[in-house]
Structure 1
Amino acid sequence: MTTWQAEPLPLFQTPEWARVVGVFDLETTGIDVVTDRIVTAHVGVLDVDGQVVDARDWLADPGIAIPAGAAAIHGISTERARTEGAPAATVVAEVVEALSALFAAGIPVVAYNAPFDFSLLKHEALRHGIAPIEKPSPVLDPLVMDKTYDRWRRGKRTLSVVAAHYAVPLESAHEACADAVAAGRLALALAERFGAWMPPTVDELHLRQVAWARAQAASLTEYFVKIGRLDATSPPLDGAWPIR
């Protein structure tokens, strides 16, 4: 039992931000946020019940071959991307525009492991001469939130595992749409379970996640040194959030 669960339950009130959330996910050519490219993208909006009220999907021609390993995960081959995908610059510009509109409206955007998606999008924007989203806010990252409110739970923290833990359905994992919607519903599930302990505003929650992510990276660095995965003189893991 975590310390969060052991404390007396305050009077519960669903956080204001849970009334409507944006969702965002990318599937890519790889995991290097600087050099890899967008293959598919999803930006959508969910209501308080987790129902999709707006959604848009993109398939891009990334301009490079999609490695077999990446294609095996998300199911998009180089041939399909080149045949059916829109030019990468067009996709990047439209994704940036869609996200910027959500932020401008004050709608928080949910992204699981947010630094990956927002950092890769930033570098894609710079690559194509598009003004990037330098400081995405407010962002909700269920990975950071789950690690904070249920810190001592054993097991992996992948989206599929965490979604299953909170009874959030995830069909067609590693499709941008499915992953984005599942992450949004996971954020709502976290709000329902831990909302009583969450900051009262989404802006404060965003700032708290900056500190939580930094502390989580420091703790993981310490653990990796302890088990020999990192040398004690190695640079610490990057805890910058929601963009690196």
Structure 2
Amino acid sequence: MTDPDVPAWLDGPMLALDLETTGIDPETARIVSAAVVCIAVSSDPPASTWLVDPGVEIPAEATAVHGITTDQAVNDGRSAADVIPEITAELVRALAAGWPLVVFRAPYALTVLAREAARHGVDFPAEVAPVIDPAVLDKQVDRYRRGRRTLPALCEHYRVRHDGPNQAEQDALAAARLAWRLPRVHPQLAALDLATLHNQQQTWAAEQAHGLQQHLRRTDPTATVSPSWPLTPAAT
């Protein structure tokens, strides 16, 4: 039974996205694995997953994070040219239906996907909205809490299930659980409709980026942190 005090979007469908990649720079990183998970009424949400041959060597430091080697990607994965249109199509369908897209640290993942789409001649939405980014929400509502704010750390803090860090499907599911949990712990988030929540995250993310940049400039006067959210626009 639907709680009349809970906004409809909180109990409505969502699409969660996660990527594992070759590196930390979203402008050059290539997708190695991906998952989108449809969160609807099912207790066992359907997921689409991909193992991708990125067309480049996977650095050892990236393999150390997600466990996927170049040989594995080449032998068992599909070409990025085949996979990127499928991932993008999942996002387009969900957004066209009005579903929010849940992405932890959205500017990284969505920028990677947008650059991959451009690299392979795939149309990417001019606007990606609405997006729910648990990393931005948590920092906004509990900005002075000490400790790490990684996906596993937030799952532990908010007592939500996370079955496998750095596994795309499990990370996507964990992000979706945080998107469900955060507005229930912090009712001020639940009071916002999806459009307002999206717009507020743009403001909050820019403020958070500015704060991080000021912190980094204590030791590196040239440090810059992009304020863009939910993704970084392509250079023109």
Query: Could you state the TM-score of these two structures normalised by the residue count of structure 2?
Result: 0.92
CA distance in 2, matches of 1:167, 1:48: 21
Residue equivalent to 1:42: 35
Partner Cα separation in structure 2 for residue 15 and residue 160 of structure 1:
27
Residue 239 of structure 1 aligns with which residue? 227
Deviations 1:184-239 (A, max 9, x none): 0011110211134444311110000000000001111112223x2x21xx263101
| Residue in 2 that maps onto 1:8 | none
User: Take 2:188 and 2:90, find their aligned partners in 1: how far apart are those partners?
Assistant: 31
Tell me which residue corresponds to 2:26.
33
CA distance in 2, matches of 1:151, 1:198: 18
Q: Any conservation in 2 of the 1:135–1:243 contact (CA below 8 Å)?
A: no
Amino acid at match of 1:209: Q
Equivalent residues in 2 for 1:168-183 (5 A)? 168-183=160-175
Q: Which residue does 1:195 correspond to in 2?
A: 187
SS of residue matched to 2:46: strand
Runs of 4+ aligned residues of structure 1 deviating over 2 Å after TM superposition are 12-16, 51-54, 195-200
CA distance in 2, matches of 1:159, 1:166: 11
The sequence identity of aligned pairs, in percent, is 39
Distance 1:55 1:220, change over 3 A: same
**Is this contact kept in 2: 1:14–1:191, CA < 8 A?**
no
Gaps (5+ residues) in structure 1?
1-11
Return the letter of the residue paired with 1:134. Answer: A
Of the two structures, which has the highest relative contact order with CA contacts closer than 8 Å and spacing of 6 or more?
A: 1
C-alpha contact (below 8 Å) 2:155/2:178 kept by paired residues: yes
Distance 1:195 1:48, change over 3 A: farther
Number of equivalences? 228
RMSD value over aligned CA atoms? 1.6
Matches for 1:1-244 after TM superposition, within 5 Å? 13-19=5-11, 20-47=13-40, 51-226=43-218, 228=219, 230-231=220-221, 234=222, 236-244=224-232
Q: Which amino acid aligns with 1:148?
A: Q
CA contact (8 A) 2:183 2:189 kept: no
CA distance in 1, matches of 2:112, 2:55: 15
On the 8 A contact 1:118/1:243 being kept in 2, the answer is: yes
Aligned-partner residue type, residue 215 of structure 1: E
* CA distance in structure 1 between the partners assigned to 2:188 and 2:114 by the alignment: 34
Task: Return the offset for 1:168.
Answer: 1.1
Does the 8 A contact of 1:199 with 1:205 survive in 2? no
Distance in structure 1 (CA, Å) of the matches to 2:78 and 2:189: 44
Whole-Å Cα distance in 2 between the matches of residues 69 and 208 of structure 1? 35
Q: Deviations over 1:82-136 (max 9, x none)?
A: 1111110111000000011000000001100000010000000000111123321
| Alignment-mate amino acid for residue 202 of structure 2 | V
SS of equivalent residue, structure 1 residue 27: strand
| More off after superposition, 153-162 vs 189-198 | 189-198
Q: What is the deviation of 1:70? A: 0.7
List alignment gaps of at least 5 residues for structure 2: none
Q: Contact 1:23–1:46 at 8 Å: present in 2 too?
A: yes
